Structure 1
């Protein structure tokens, strides 16, 4: 596991090849944890077929404990070979998220994106979001020392960062992004954006902390 330490006033990012590195997001000074896992050939064929048939697609469901991600897929997608392997993977991510944070419910978003969803750098107004890009380039983010924050309350200003300093979460990696609504993290949420799809639709799964 590697840490990218900065000055003490800056937040850290933690990256590792073991799933246990995700628990580092619980530390006060960590606002990004990335499990750099390899792609899984069991769901690769499903992902390609699903993206090719879906075009642009967005699905959202609220998952109670024990509910499956299968409820978020259109019926035709369940018939694609390998769908069971992909659903099992998303269900495992939801179970991990539940164990780490114990939310009342989990918001599951599935996006197939032929265009850029959020082209501007921004922060999320959520406690913590899980992102996994199953196909296409992963989410881009900025190390904390490179970020220009607003002087007070207000939107994040335009970020003037050389392209070679912008970081990318690897495809298939599992990332936990701490947002502005995490207690004590106000004004320190991870700054990130969607990349250009480069002609290939992206498949992105997001998990959010829901409460009543």
Structure 2
């Protein structure tokens, strides 16, 4: 049985080169916002160096009032070229997320992935997750018009996804993905997956609000 979603009410995506587009996530009909931007050369250089040197990495920290983002990194990474630019960018992204959602606490995860973390298309059971891929390929997602939603929660069967409908969030872009736990968004969370890493590992930052 396929859950029916009227065409007029299907969730849509907002993409723009202005950061203000991220506020569109509060619209009922939007389940993905993407601020398309270019990273500075120093920021890209740090991200590429760190990802290549560490190979594989997974670090999670909880931030409340302070911005101790240096805790995300091993000490040796603080000596890499471009670290100041990268840390400043992460701090700006965190502040944007806090201004949007005003969470009491923030979950910050930094990962370097040399394999595909979530190879199947799926929907997150979170309110809204922010993702930035600093190095490597960006997260893949499916346009709502190419999704057949099952009445059962969880992963979508591969055959429900039209290959021509697979899109990729650009490297460096700031994306907010609305999930199933957003009030009123049940059955409408953005469908996405991790891409194959390709020739280089991915450096991925994710933010979640914690209750």
TM-score (norm 2): 0.93
Alignment of 1:49-128 (within 5 A): 49-128=49-128
Query: Counterpart of 1:8 in 2: which secondary structure?
Result: helix
Say if 2:186 is the partner of 1:186: yes
Secondary structure at 2:158's aligned position in 1? coil
Q: Counterparts of 2:12 and 2:21 in 1: how far apart (Å)? A: 13
Counterparts of 1:68 and 1:26 in 2: how far apart (Å)? Answer: 28
Contact 1:122 1:191 in 2 (8 A): yes
Deviation at 1:60, TM superposition (A): 0.3
1:18 equivalent in structure 2: 18
Does structure 2 retain, via aligned residues, the 8 Å contact 1:141–1:190? yes
Asked if the contact 2:113–2:201 (Cα under 8 Å) also holds between the matched residues in 1, the reply is: yes
TM-score by length of 1: 0.93
Counterpart in the other structure of 2:157: 158
Note the C-alpha offset of 1:11: 0.3
Shift of 1:210: 0.7
In structure 2, stretches of 5+ residues that fail to align are 1-5
Question: In structure 1, what is the Cα distance between the partners aligned to 2:16 and 2:156?
Answer: 31
> Deviation at 1:162?
3.4
- Check conservation: 2:123, 2:154, Cα contact below 8 A: no
Counterpart in the other structure of 1:208:
208
Q: Secondary structure at the match of 2:7?
A: coil
| Equivalenced residues, count | 205
Cα distance in 2 for partners of 1:45, 1:35 equals: 21
Write the distance in 1 (CA, Å) between the matches of 2:28 and 2:79: 43
Checking the alignment, whether the CA contact within 8 Å between 2:139 and 2:169 is kept in structure 1 is: yes
- Displacement of 1:71: 1.4
Q: 1:138-189, CA deviations, whole angstroms, 9 ceiling, x for partnerless residues?
A: 00001112112222x4323313333222011011000000000001001111
The answer to whether structure 1 residue 32 and structure 2 residue 9 are counterparts is no
Q: Contact 2:46 / 2:83 at 8 angstroms: preserved in 1?
A: yes
CA drift of 1:66 comes to 3.4
- Partners of 2:78 and 2:71 in 1: how far apart? 10
Tell me, what secondary structure is at the counterpart of 2:47?
Answer: helix
Taking the aligned partners of 2:201 and 2:99, their CA distance within structure 1 comes to 31
Summarize the alignment of residues 164-183 of structure 1 with structure 2, pairs less than 5 Å apart: 164-183=164-183
Specify every segment of 5 or more residues in structure 1 that has no aligned partner in the other structure, as ranges: 1-5
Cα deviation digits, residues 88-144 of structure 1 (max 9, x gap)? 101110000000000111111101011111000001110000001011110000111
Structure 1: 4+ residue segments shifted above 6 A: none
Deviation of residue 34 (structure 1)?
Answer: 0.2
